[in-house]
Structure 1
Amino acid sequence: MTSQILIVEDEPALVAMLRYNLEKEGYQVEEAADGEEGLLKVEEAAPDLILLDWMLPRLSGIEVCRRIRRRPETRDVPVIMLTARGEEADRVRGLDTGADDYVTKPFSPSELMARIRALLRRARPSSAHETLNCGDLVMDLAAHKVWRSGRSLKLGPTEFRLLRYFLEHAGRVLSREHLLDAVWGRDIYVEERTVDVHIRRLRKALNIDGEPDPIRTVRSAGYSLEMADG
């Protein structure tokens, strides 16, 4: 399946160069010349990846990125920020806003293409990874369903995302701050106790028949998903 990439950039020469290199790689390309147009195109049909200029007319790239991350439909779309601002503080600000990568102008087209391929691989795992397993837990990502010991579980959207992240990082201790960033997003302002509330809901759904609790609370550190295989 061909990936669609949206270029949000107001320099025509750069847009032409990007389009040429992207189409040469086999990608479908959409363009937007300012921040407002970029947001409209994202809302109409979420692309597979966005190349987003920092300095844009009407709406800055930083604000576009913030709004993309706030919408559940687009919060997981990979974003590469393109900018002439090369200072470390600017890079940090761009990444903290929710960008997945940061490329300083002028840049090498071949390096940018490599970064795009890497991000798309991470965002679209192969079909072999459509199912996540840990012990007697099974999650079908395509069907958006979860089973424990063959019993179907009813999870809310946040609990589903939480469990998915736990399954993808089984055995690792994950802090509340880490879980907030990964599950709610860097730009969503919620308190750390929110994690505890959803952990309790997830535990209630997982342990309905009195099975051993797979989520371990690690004092002063966070939580870990730990189950015996089988």
Structure 2
Amino acid sequence: MKVKILLAEDDSDFGMILKQYLELEGFEVSWFHNPEDVVSILQTDFHFHIGILDIMMPNIDGFSLAKMILKAKPDFPILFLTAKNQKIDRLTGLKIGADDYIAKPCDPEELILRIKNILKRTLISETITQFKIGNYILDTEKLLLIHPNEKIRLTIREKDLLLYLLKFNHKIIKRDDILDNLWETNDYFTGRSLDVFISRLRKYFQHDDKIKIQSLRGIGFEIDFPEN
């Protein structure tokens, strides 16, 4: 499967160089000079695995474009390109829900590495059945959470919830998003059910104190799954 990248960059020279380099690395790149063109396909022909957005673009800046994309596609991973490399840019991007950022002019090899790291966390593929989570291995095919000290048999709901949390590693995820995406309903009873499942996962991960599923009152959860 070829990874499809959405590239939003209004600089013609930089955009062309970046597109060519990414394609040489085996990615399929759709390059948009005008961010308004991205908005026009959000509900019709949006079939990408990751977005690379320049922050400084005319009409619609990268931050605004990211908000529009994430409103329609909450799980969509985004990497920001910024020419300024200022703290305010980084914080704003992360608060919006971006997965990473890189300053221009960027080293192509570093960009590829960042893209691959994001995809490793977010691209839950049918061909991938095992995921490393700290000292554990999640085997989605056998519904097992494996630790050197024990093997835990998961329910399908527990497996689905764990995969969903993995998509938001090192980020904050809203309760409502989990309920809407996994339970497909959001009321008192499903909320209580979610709390039970979260408690179970915390218990399952008791052998690795670096794994955190922290509750944020009125918001949701902050996820921290170490990759090694």
> 1:85: Cα distance to partner?
2.2
Identity of aligned residues (%): 27
Aligned to 1:122: 121
Aligned to 1:53: 54
Distance 1:195-1:84 versus aligned 2 partners, 3 A rule: farther
Structure 1 vs Structure 2 CA RMSD: 3.3
Q: Aligned match of 2:162 in 158, 161, 164? A: 164
Distance 1:167-1:64 versus aligned 2 partners, 3 A rule: closer
Structure of larger gyration radius: 1
Task: Normalising by structure 2, report the TM-score.
Answer: 0.65
Aligned to 1:184: 177
> 1:214: Cα distance to partner?
5.9
Aligned to 2:102: 103
CA contact (8 A) 1:214 1:227 kept: no
CA contact (8 A) 1:46 1:77 kept: no
Aligned to 1:62: 63
> 1:180: Cα distance to partner?
2.4
Q: Does 1:201 align with 2:200?
A: no
> 1:38: Cα distance to partner?
1.8
Report the count of equivalent residues: 176
> 1:167: Cα distance to partner?
7.6
> 1:117: Cα distance to partner?
1.4
Distance 1:178-1:80 versus aligned 2 partners, 3 A rule: closer
Cα deviation, 1:172-199, whole Å, max 9, x if unaligned, reads xxxxx94528x739xxxxxxxx998644
Structure 1: stretches of 5+ with no match in the other structure:
140-145, 148-159, 169-176, 186-193, 204-212, 217-222
Q: Does 1:137 align with 2:135?
A: no
* Secondary structure of the structure 1 residue equivalent to 2:47: coil
CA distance in structure 2 between the partners assigned to 1:42 and 1:111 by the alignment: 29
* Secondary structure of the structure 1 residue equivalent to 2:5: strand
> 1:31: Cα distance to partner?
1.2
Structure 2: stretches of 5+ with no match in the other structure:
131-139, 146-151, 179-185, 206-228
* Secondary structure of the structure 1 residue equivalent to 2:80: strand
CA distance in structure 1 between the partners assigned to 2:56 and 2:165 by the alignment: 38
Task: Normalising by structure 1, report the TM-score.
Answer: 0.64
